Amino acid sequence: MDFSLEGRVALVTGAARGIGAAIAEKLAAAGALVHLADRDIAQAEAKSAEISAAGAASRALELDVSEPQSWQATLSEIERSAGDLDILVNNVGLTMSKSIEDTTIEDWRLLMRVNLEGPFIGTKAALPLMKKSALRTPYGGSIINVSSISGIVGTANLACYTATKGGLRYFSKSAALEFAKAGYKIRVNTIHPGLTEGASANVLFKASVDSGVCGSMDEAKKMWTSRYPVNRMAHPRDIAAGVLFLASDASNFMTGTEMIMDGGLTA
């Protein structure tokens, strides 16, 4: 099975750290020119330098996914410097663990703006360039939206987060159908990670400690991890491997669907 991305151009949001950084590394190692987009431009540049030092091609770009003007500036720069865009990974996301009673309208709007509006704005902004780029490759372009198992099932104290991730799942399905019927040669799929090492998992652990359910972060980690049949959290590189598959021509007959990577939790 060929996962080569030689000659492809990719954009990964939230690529300075965590899952986004692992995705950028994986796509670059497969041969793509990867643009690491993040609000934290200094960390994005540092990660890009690591990728380049390993012999792969990458660039860092500053991007606020909630701002249409920021998206336009980023896409204009990619078109100017690279000429094409084959792969878009909408990875940026915020996690919040609160009861519905404690969730404010400001909390709700913040998560909607980043987790749901961001991918919508990004898809819309990237479409003109991706439509042109899709004509030069056998199977066209690929958009991968990073959702969550919380976009598949509900979870107590994650109502706001699950609403955004479920919305992203169904936005992606609709976009996939629309682009296929229009003949754009652009596939759209979602990937749904379970508990993954990094900042988002720590939010859940801290909420368990703050609520008194667990006495320490280590205890919270053990409690959350024990729910998974494989008895461990995912590493960001595990999720990146799934994104590589969806970005590559190996998944050319997949669009409008989801890849669940949760160690068996939702089974």
Which residues sit opposite 258 in a β-bridge? 190
Between CA 11 and CA 17, with CA 14 as vertex, the angle to 5 degrees is 115
pLDDT value for 217 = 93
pLDDT single digits (tens) 68-120: 999 999 999 999 999 999 999 999 999 999 999 999 999 999 999 999 999 99
- Contact present, 228 and 265 (Cβ < 8 Å): yes
Position 200 scores a pLDDT of 87
Q: What is the mean pLDDT of residues 235-244?
A: 97
Residue 155 vs residue 182, higher pLDDT: 182
pLDDT value at 181 more than 70? yes
Tell me the HSE value of 106 on the side-chain side, using a 13 A CA sphere: 0
Query: For residue 265, is pLDDT > 80?
Result: yes
Catalytic entry in 139, 161, 170, 184:
161
Whether residue 222 has pLDDT greater than 70: yes
pLDDT of residue 195: 93
- CA atoms of 55 and 29, how far apart (whole Å): 8
Q: Name the pairing type of β-strands 9-13 and 186-193.
A: unpaired
Q: What is the mean pLDDT of residues 233-239?
A: 96
- Residue 236 CA to residue 91 CA, distance in Å, equals 12
The average pLDDT across 182-197 equals 97
In this prediction, residue 1 carries a pLDDT of: 63
At residue 32, the pLDDT reads 98
Q: What is the share, in percent, of the chain residues with pLDDT greater than 90?
A: 93
Active site residue 170: no
- Over residues 234-240, the mean pLDDT reads 96
Mean pLDDT score of the chain, rounded to an integer? Answer: 96
Q: Which of 14-18, 184-188, 218-222 comes out lowest in average pLDDT?
A: 218-222
Tell me the pLDDT tens digit for each residue of 33-69: 999 999 999 999 999 999 999 999 999 999 999 999 9
pLDDT in tens, 125-146: 999 999 999 999 999 999 999 9
First-last CA distance in the chain: 27
CATH of domain 9-261: 3.40.50.720
